[in-house]
Structure 1
Amino acid sequence: MSVNWNAQVRINDPLELELEKIEKELNLRKHVIIQFSHPSFYGSILPEIDRLCARWDENLGVRFFGHYSLSFDCNTVLQIPNVKTLYVDCLIHAHNTDALTRLENLHYLNLNIFELEDADILRAETFQKLCMLTIFSEKKTVNLEHLKGYTRLHTLIAGGKVNHLDAIGHLDRLEFLSLNSISKTPVHFINKLEKLKTLKFILGGRESVEEIEENEIENLEIVRVRGFSNFQNITKFRKLRKLLIEDQIQLNQINFNKPLKELEEISLLNCKGLTSVTGLAQLPSLHLLRIYKTSIDFESFIGQKLPDTLSTLFFATSKSKLDHEIQKSLIEMGLQKDSE
């Protein structure tokens, strides 16, 4: 199973299906999502969608969202028993959520209900066949203890009010993990995830990720995490290929004090407290570096030894006159093209 998340086609509130168009997109291996914001749009179309789901794989998804001023009746999904990728998200209210657990063919579930009525919904045995799961709740605290039985799960996005986060450490097939709006909870369980390749921390709050020991993670993102100020263990990510750090105002320095031989791309964006990035010569594969809206002095920064592999450097402060001069310097150094 390989869902093409990067090439999505969304069909909004269709009154009838353009089957030829949908199947053309699916044949191009695009992820087609047929989505509905109100019951008036899907009253008679769901049986036809189910027949389509029976013929296609996980790249065909069905989404129910919005339903403003209404409570979504989850019994609706029983009309599409062949659905493999299901989004029940961006909803305030929903009822009969146990109906979701009766979908035998489900491989990916995105469940984001503000007032989720069943904090233990993940106990369902049918869910243990899931390969991908997004779970987010704002009102009730979702019990993640049940994840211990999810032996097929390779992608997990968890956020909001959750507990027993350490149960994630039992997911020995997990390759992708995003922790969203989760604050201060220790993440030592990540050290058990030997197959993990992508790790994201988005929103929430924590000072560091110092519990994480040497690992095989290739893609790391730390975005708008409140209080994040210490990244001294950055070289523990020895297999890192891509690094994104964004909106981290309390982080003031990054030092690559040991080689990271596979790191190819770095983006440091809107980190206004960041004053120094050193040790770049320890990155023999780095070819792309983006630095935007930091407190790094360009002249001091550019004076350090840079890896020979670095072919593109974007450095901007948002001050137009200064940025114009910086760009001229980078063009002269061969680190930017005239058209960029």
Structure 2
Amino acid sequence: MTPMGGIRMADATRAEFNDSASADDFRALAEEPRLRVLQCSEPVRDGVWSLVNEHFCTTRPDVQLRVYGHYSRECDLSFVRLLPNVRHFAADCLMQASRVEALCELQSLESLSLGIFGLTDFSVLEQLPPGLTSLALGATRSKRPSLAPLGRFR
């Protein structure tokens, strides 16, 4: 595998990127046949998200894009507006997240994993794209979240 400045392979199936990742890094990563998850654990610039969408997601729609951690920080999910080509997305192992409703803009979304401990409003589930075939919800602080919106998925 070609060295990639802003991307580190955790193992053959998982890669971690940061704010210094380039278009060339994402193009090279797209050539890794065993890759299943592309992830980041800290905020990155909008320009990097655009590179992910254009140079990675278009050629590897099978790979899950995962945002996790953001240790001691709230994860602002508004960046997903820059990812129209994402089909598999996870926002998990997060304590807090804002702009969760932005997930509804992912019209090509097929699978979603939400693991946001501080999530108390599940209204985002009402607006998820109808093509969603897999949904995983992690533990939350909420004692009795309404899962009624899930009734529209059969």
What range describes the TM-score normalised by the shorter chain of this pair? Answer: 0.7 to 0.9
1:23 to 23, 30, 33: 30
CA drift of 1:54 comes to 2.4
What is the CA deviation profile of residues 249-303 of structure 1, one whole-angstrom value per residue up to 9, with x for unaligned ones? xxxxxxxxxxxxxxxxxxxxxxxxxxxxxxxxxxxxxxxxxxxxxxxxxxxxxxx
CA drift of 1:120 comes to 2.9
Measure, in 2, the Cα distance between the counterparts of 1:10 and 1:125. 26
Matches within 5 A, 1:1-340: 9-14=13-18, 15-17=20-22, 18-25=25-32, 28=33, 30-39=34-43, 42-43=44-45, 44-51=47-54, 52-57=56-61, 59-126=62-129, 128-140=130-142, 141-151=144-154
| Percent sequence identity over aligned pairs | 25
Could you say which structure has the larger radius of gyration? 1
Q: Structure 1 residues 125 and 83, CA, compared in 2 at 3 Å: closer, same or farther?
A: closer
What is the CA deviation profile of residues 61-96 of structure 1, one whole-angstrom value per residue up to 9, with x for unaligned ones? 211111111111110211212111111000000011
Measure, in 1, the Cα distance between the counterparts of 2:147 and 2:71. 28
Which ranges in structure 1 are unaligned for 5 or more consecutive residues? 1-6, 152-340
- Please state which structure has a larger fraction of its residues in strand: 1
Do the aligned residues in 1 keep the contact of 2:64 with 2:90 (CA within 8 Å)?
Answer: yes
Q: Structure 1 residues 122 and 11, CA, compared in 2 at 3 Å: closer, same or farther?
A: same
Measure, in 1, the Cα distance between the counterparts of 2:147 and 2:90. 19
Q: Structure 1 residues 124 and 81, CA, compared in 2 at 3 Å: closer, same or farther?
A: same
CA drift of 1:118 comes to 1.4
Q: Structure 1 residues 117 and 144, CA, compared in 2 at 3 Å: closer, same or farther?
A: closer
Matched residue count = 138
Aligned residue type for 1:139: R
CA drift of 1:150 comes to 1.2
Q: Structure 1 residues 71 and 125, CA, compared in 2 at 3 Å: closer, same or farther?
A: closer
CA drift of 1:116 comes to 0.6
Do the aligned residues in 1 keep the contact of 2:30 with 2:59 (CA within 8 Å)?
Answer: no
Pairwise CA RMSD: 2.0
Do the aligned residues in 1 keep the contact of 2:113 with 2:137 (CA within 8 Å)?
Answer: yes
CA drift of 1:32 comes to 2.9
Which ranges in structure 2 are unaligned for 5 or more consecutive residues? 1-10
Q: Structure 1 residues 118 and 8, CA, compared in 2 at 3 Å: closer, same or farther?
A: farther
Query: Which protein, 1 or 2, shows the higher relative CO under an 8 Å CA cutoff with sep ≥ 6?
Result: 2
